[in-house]
Amino acid sequence: MIFGWLRITCRQAHILLSERLDRGLQPLEIVRLRLHLLVCDVCSRVARQFRFISDAVRRIGT
Amino acid sequence: MDSGALRQAVAELRPMLLKIARLQLRNDSWAEDAVSETLVSALESADRFSGQSQLKTWVVGILKHKIIDQFRRSGREVSIDAAAEAAQVETFDELFADDGHRLERPRDWGDPEATYSRVQFFEVLQICIEELPAALARVFMMREWLELETAQICKEARVSSTNCFVMLHRARMRLRECLEQRWFTGETL
């Protein structure tokens, strides 16, 4: 596959999904993650779940 | 609101404040101290409470500062716990096939706003946070509840930034799993 070097696994994508909430991702990481999310609805769901959790925790005590 | 009524209203917030402080600090006596200081500070500066925001929001804002002060005072113990936790390796192998792809589809959690309107959801969320190891919970709550920058969290917990990211990831993965098992059980696959 020509763009094989851009491919990442779900395991790697999960890590980037968490880290993008804590640090700015590198351009290459952003491209890899976006391409992965385009084809992987499992990781897209996890992306929404991580944001869901963040927003929920911020509401504690409000 | 006259000062007597304000005093009364602030005192009534104590159980809620204590619950949050315990969740974040994971140590009962630290939590007691942070809450006592919060109440004293709230009453001392009561004349600055404009009534513009909710009393609760204002007092919780003070609590956040007192919790950060408490972390600084307990820095040594916090860093010992964090170092021990950072040494733990958690690979979540049950979720992934050998080639790194995910074995099962997580559930669709639906509309967040609908869930956030349920008080019971927050009770479950707090149980899930309590079930995290103390050092993971502290780092996670510093990030998501105190909304500190990651660099500051690493400094408070005295762990490397790499360890910090790994701990935050582990906390999110565990919370995701816990919520899915305890709250989103009936959602569509």
**Interval B14-31: pLDDT, tens:** 999 999 999 999 999 999
Which amino acid does the sequence have at B6?
L
The structural domain count of chain B equals 2
User: Is residue B47 pLDDT above 90, yes or no?
Assistant: no
Chain A closest CA to B28's CA: distance in Å? 18
User: Is residue B72 pLDDT above 90, yes or no?
Assistant: yes
For position A9, what pLDDT does the model report? 95
Q: How distant, in Å, are the alpha carbons of A11, B102, B108 from that of B98? A: 10, 9, 25
User: pLDDT below 50 — which residues of chain A?
Assistant: none
B 95-114 → A contacts, CB under 8 A: 96, 99-102, 105-109, 112
For testing the chain A interface, which of B118, B128, B145, B181 should be mutated: the one with the most A CBs within 10 Å? B145
pLDDT-derived band at B4 (thresholds 50, 70, 90) equals confident
- Prediction ipTM score: 0.95
Q: In this structure, are B96 and B180 located in the same domain?
A: yes
Domain residue ranges in chain A = 4-58
Higher pLDDT, A54 or B51: A54
Q: In this structure, are B86 and B18 located in the same domain?
A: no
Q: In this structure, are B85 and B177 located in the same domain?
A: yes
Q: In this structure, are B139 and B85 located in the same domain?
A: yes
Q: In this structure, are B120 and B175 located in the same domain?
A: yes
Tens digits of per-residue pLDDT, B121-133? 999 999 999 999 9
**Option in B99, B112, B145 nearest A60 (CB):** B145
A18/B175 CB distance under 8 A: no
- Asked if residue B98 lies in contact with residue A11, where contact means CB atoms within 8 angstroms, the answer is no
For the beta carbon of residue B64, count every other beta carbon within 10 angstroms.
19
Domain boundaries, position B162: 75-189
pLDDT-derived band at B102 (thresholds 50, 70, 90) equals confident
Q: In this structure, are B142 and B85 located in the same domain?
A: yes
Prediction pTM value: 0.93
Q: For B65-81, what is the mean pLDDT? A: 95
A22/B164 CB distance under 8 A: yes
For position B189, what pLDDT does the model report? 62
Nearest CA in chain A to B17: A61
* CATH classification at residue B52: 1.10.1740.10
Please name which of B101, B113, B35, B105 lies closest in space to residue B70, comparing C-alpha atoms: B35
For position B32, what pLDDT does the model report? 98
B 7-66 → A contacts, CB under 8 A: 16, 20, 23, 56-57, 60, 63
Q: In this structure, are B22 and B110 located in the same domain?
A: no
Size (chain A), residues: 62
Q: In this structure, are B98 and B147 located in the same domain?
A: yes
- Asked if residue B183 lies in contact with residue B121, where contact means CB atoms within 8 angstroms, the answer is yes
Q: In this structure, are B93 and B180 located in the same domain?
A: yes
For position B52, what pLDDT does the model report? 62
Q: In this structure, are B93 and B175 located in the same domain?
A: yes
Q: In this structure, are B61 and B137 located in the same domain?
A: no
A18/B165 CB distance under 8 A: yes
For position A29, what pLDDT does the model report? 97
Average pLDDT value for chain B: 92
Higher pLDDT, B54 or B120: B120
For position A4, what pLDDT does the model report? 82
Q: In this structure, are B126 and B57 located in the same domain?
A: no
Classify B108 in phi/psi space as left (phi over 0), alpha (psi -120 to 50) or beta: beta
Express as a percent the part of chain B with pLDDT over 90.
Answer: 79
